[in-house]
Structure formats: structure tokens, C-alpha cells
Amino acid sequence: MKVLGINPGSTSTKLAVYEHEKLLFEENIRHDDAELMKLADLTAQLPYRLDAIMSVLEKRDFQLSSLAAVVGRGGMLKPMSSGTYFVDDHLLEDARSGKYGNHASNLGSIIAAEIAREYQLPVFIVDPVGVDELIEEARISGLADIERKSHVHALNIKAVSRKIAAELGKELADTSFVAAHLGGGISVAALKGGRMIDVNNAENEGPFSPERAGGLPAKQLVQLCFSGKYSEKELLQRMTKQGGIFSYLGTKSVIEIEQRVKSGDPDAALVLKAMVHQIAKEIGAMATVLEGKADGIILTGGISHSEMITEWIREKVSFIGEVFVLPGEAEMEALAFGALRVLTGQEEAERY
Ligand SMILES: Nc1ncnc2c1ncn2[C@@H]1O[C@H](COP(=O)(O)OP(=O)(O)OP(=O)(O)O)[C@@H](O)[C@H]1O
Ligand SMILES: CCCC(=O)O
């Protein structure tokens, strides 16, 4: 039983084919930034990305007719529970319109549906960005006009938590973890019984990240909004795409910053240590959500490849529990396995 997974990112589209649990092949198509920028909105990128995928599959002489299903990364959709979902017209409409936000991952379901159409294959998404398992008290922001929202690297966080649970000889449902996805954006989640009962919204709360500002001092932010320095669109762009490390050091590459730190650059060291400080603080906060009863702390995402950074974090948080490091992400596997759980009858797919 073969499954094709599609994972569109802001500058790349990853695809992978699994046969049952075995990876047959995986490709990371890196797109030309300038080409993508020319395609104003996300849906305009569809033919460009689809062509790139089809040419990879053709080069490999891969027959779409051999697939049992296509599964795409679920993008910014309505708040929903964790799981595998059938892609239907309503879901596609929300992904296309950007009603719940625009993110490259919105293209996951759209591309998957296009590929599946000719052979009338089932199409799924798994654990989209909008997975919402917050406990009610975590929704209260402190201002009645504003509700806190779950916006989190759900796909990877669930997948790596499942892996660590298995290493501990447990089902995910019998564990509690604090899981921190450290990538271009940063999500820290408190998982109780496998459910993400509190998270920092990766778009605008919690630690700053390579490209995002994270949570900011609210009064000064309001003053900046009304200062005339930025339009609404410009400020949102600055906070989410040009904030964090980028706003201080002019690069989003933690690899580069680490080299600068190692060659004695004090500015780079200060900013990196500040990011670690904020990540550790968020982990501590999520540990208290779990009343200190965590089976461990999981560090994942691209930045977790850095031993220097994971050691700095470990020094600050290991009093809470064991620290597990799973660098990178397990998203392709998570997509394929999510679809396979449905195709093999272990789980029922949800309706959007
Ligand atoms: N070996 C490494 N050492 C240090 N940093 C690394 C390493 N590899 C990747 N990174 C950093 O990880 C960050 C990107 O992480 P990742 O690849 O998880 O992000 P993304 O997939 O673009 O976004 P997101 O994780 O938010 O979906 C970059 O800042 C990159 O420099
Ligand atoms: C939270 C996952 C998507 C993102 O914000 O990068």
C-alpha cells in the first residue's frame, strides 16, 4: 500500500512515497525565492509547485496509479482536534481562501487533491497547524476582546512525542511531555495524555525565533502600531517574517549565527543566549501547566541540530526532567503514517 505525502514550505516543497512504513523515496524541491515572490498569492503558486512535483515523479518513472492515497500538510484551517482528515470541498475552500490565515502549508491539501483527481484517490491531511486541544483556561488572554488561539507545529510535535513515548515503552496517551519545536518559528507545547493542552501561538507568542518576534511588551507594541512608522501589513510582516534573530542580526540562519558566536561575535552571542533564555522560560511555564509531572522535555526542529544550543537549553531546564533531542522534523513520516492508520483501519478519518 503506497502513499504519497506533500509538504509545502515557504521556500520548498517536500514529497515522499512510503510503502506501508517503509520510505521508498523522499525529495526536497527547493524553489527559487524570486520565482515564488512573483506569484502574488499562494494559490497562484499551485501550477508552479505542481509542475515541480510531477517532474520529480516522472524522472523517477513513478506511477500515480500505484498509490492508495495522497496526503498533504494541513495548513491554517479552522480549529480542530488532532487526527487524519478527509480533504473535501469545504476544507479546500478554506485552504484556498486563507480564511484562517495564509501559510504555504495551505497548499498541502490543494496540491494533494490535484494529484489525486485523475485516479480518484482518497486525499487526507494530518494534524494541521490549527489543531486545537487547549484547555479552557488556556484560551483566556487577559483581555476580553482577545481570545488565545492554538497555532502550533502540531504535525511534528505529535510525531516526535509518539516516537519518544514508544522509546519509553508507552502509548502517547499515557505520557506527559513539554515539546519544543525550534525552527523558523518556535512552538512550545504542554502535552498531557498526548493532547496539547497549552501552547504558545507560534505566530505571535512565546520565544522569539529566527524570523518571528514572539510575544512582545504589549504597551510598547501598541505605541509602535500608532507611531506611523509602519502600516498594519508592514508591522505584521516585520513581526512574523523579519522579527526575532533576523531583526537584530540580519539573518535567519542559526547555523551562521552559531559560527559567529564561535568566532567571538558578542552581539551574536547575546541574541542567541536571549533566544535560549526565552525558550527555557516557555518550557518552564509549560512544565507548570503539567504541574511538574512530565515524562521529559523534547527538543525538535532544525535548530535542535545545534549541540551548543540544545546544551544551553538543557542546562536551564534539566531540573524539570530528562531532555530528549530529536533534531529536524518527522513531518513526512507523520503524514504518511497518519494516512496509513486510516487506510489500514487502525483509525477513522475525521470529517472537516
Ligand atoms: N545544524 C544546524 N545547526 C544549527 N542550526 C540549524 C542547523 N540546521 C538548521 N538549523 C537552523 O534551523 C532553522 C530552520 O529550522 P527548520 O528547518 O525547522 O525551519 P522551517 O522548516 O523553515 O520552519 P518551521 O520549522 O518553523 O516550519 C534555521 O535557522 C537554520 O539555520
Ligand atoms: C505553526 C506551524 C506553522 C508556522 O507557524 O510556521
Strand order in 22-30's β-sheet?
A: 22-30, 12-19, 2-8, 67-73, 123-126, 84-86
Q: How far is the CA of 199 from the centre of ligand 2 (A)?
A: 12
Q: Are residues 109 and 28 in the same domain?
A: yes
Whether 9 has a pLDDT exceeding 90, the answer reads no
Are 172 and 244 part of one and the same domain? yes
Tell me, yes or no, whether 146 lies in a domain: no
Q: What is the predicted ipTM?
A: 0.97
| Ligand 1 pocket residues where CB is under 6 Å | 9, 183-185, 210, 252-255, 258, 301-303, 305-306, 329
What confidence tier does 39 reach under pLDDT thresholds 50, 70, 90? Answer: confident
Residue 308 lies in a domain: yes
The protein residue with its alpha carbon nearest to ligand 2, atom 6, reads: 185
The CA 305 to ligand 1 mean position distance, Å, reads 8
Same domain, 241 and 323: yes
**For ligand 2, mutation pick of 42, 77, 187, 209 (most atoms within 8 Å of CB):** 187
> What's the pLDDT tens digit per position in 156-172?
999 999 999 999 999 99
Domain check: are 236 and 101 in the same one? no
138 is a domain residue: no
Task: Indicate whether 20 pLDDT > 90.
Answer: yes
What end-to-end distance do the CA atoms of the chain give, in Å? 25
pLDDT for position 140: 98
State the pTM of this model. 0.93
- For residue 87, is pLDDT > 90? yes
**pLDDT > 90? residue 126:** yes
Q: Has residue 277 got a pLDDT over 90?
A: yes
Q: How many domains does the chain have?
A: 2
Ligand 1 atom closest to Cα of 210? 29
- Residue 329 Cα: closest atom of ligand 1: 18
Q: In angstroms, what is the span from residue 123 Cα to ligand 1's centroid?
A: 29
Q: Is 17 in the same domain as 162?
A: no
From ligand 1's centre to the CA of 119, what distance in Å? 36
- Please state, for a pLDDT cut of 70, what percent of the chain lies above it: 100
Based on the domain organization, do 129 and 181 belong to the same domain? no
Instruction: Quickly state the pLDDT bin for 65 (edges 50, 70, 90).
Output: very high
| pLDDT mean over 330-339 | 97
Both 36 and 79 in a single domain?
yes
Domain match, 104 and 204 both: no
Q: What is the pLDDT of residue 28?
A: 93
pLDDT of 35 higher than 90: no
Residue with cell 523579519: 242
What ligand 2 atom has the least distance to the C-alpha of 183? 6
**Ligand 1 atom with minimal separation from the 253 CA:** 31
Query: Is residue 52 very low, low, confident or very high in pLDDT (cuts 50, 70, 90)?
Result: very high
* pLDDT confidence of residue 191: 98
pLDDT over 90 at 11, yes or no: no
Give every CB contact of residue 265 below 8 A, 6+ residues apart in sequence: none
Both 64 and 122 in one domain: the answer is yes
Which pLDDT score, from 0 to 100, does residue 38 have? 81
Ligand 2 centre to CA of 119 (Å) is 31
Q: How far is the CA of 151 from the centre of ligand 2 (A)?
A: 7
Report how far ligand 1's centroid is from the alpha carbon of 185 (Å): 9
Whichever domain contains 104, its CATH number is: 3.30.420.40
| 148 inside domain | no
- Give the per-residue pLDDT at 303: 97
What is the domain range of residue 72? Answer: 2-133+331-343
Q: What is the pLDDT of residues 285-318, one digit of tens each?
A: 999 999 999 999 999 999 999 999 999 999 999 9
pLDDT digits (tens, 9 = 90+) for 178-217: 999 999 999 999 999 999 999 999 999 999 999 999 999 9
In a domain, 312, yes or no: yes
- Provide the pLDDT for residue 102: 86
- Taking the centre of ligand 2 as the mean of its atom positions, its distance from the CA of residue 31, in whole angstroms, is 19
- What is the arrangement of strands in the sheet containing 195-199, beginning at the earlier edge strand? 195-199, 186-192, 176-182, 296-301, 323-327
Grade residue 12 by pLDDT with cuts at 50, 70 and 90: confident
Answer whether residue 202 is part of any domain: yes
Cα separations in angstroms, 224 against 214, 216, 217, 220, 314:
16, 11, 11, 6, 35
Ligand nearest to the CA of 185: 1
Whether the predicted pLDDT of 40 surpasses 90: no
Shared-domain flag, residues 50 and 109: yes
- Domain-embedded: residue 293: yes
Q: Cα Rg for the chain, rounded, in angstroms?
A: 20
Pocket of ligand 2 (CB under 6 A): 103, 129, 151-153, 185, 187, 202-203
pLDDT digits (tens, 9 = 90+) for 252-269: 999 999 999 999 999 999
Q: Is the pLDDT of residue 33 over 80?
A: no
Ligand 1 probe mutation, 36, 254, 331, most atoms within 8 A of CB:
254
Residue 180 resides in a domain: yes
Shared-domain flag, residues 337 and 322? no
Note the pLDDT of residue 41.
81
Q: Do 162 and 259 reside in the same domain of the chain?
A: yes
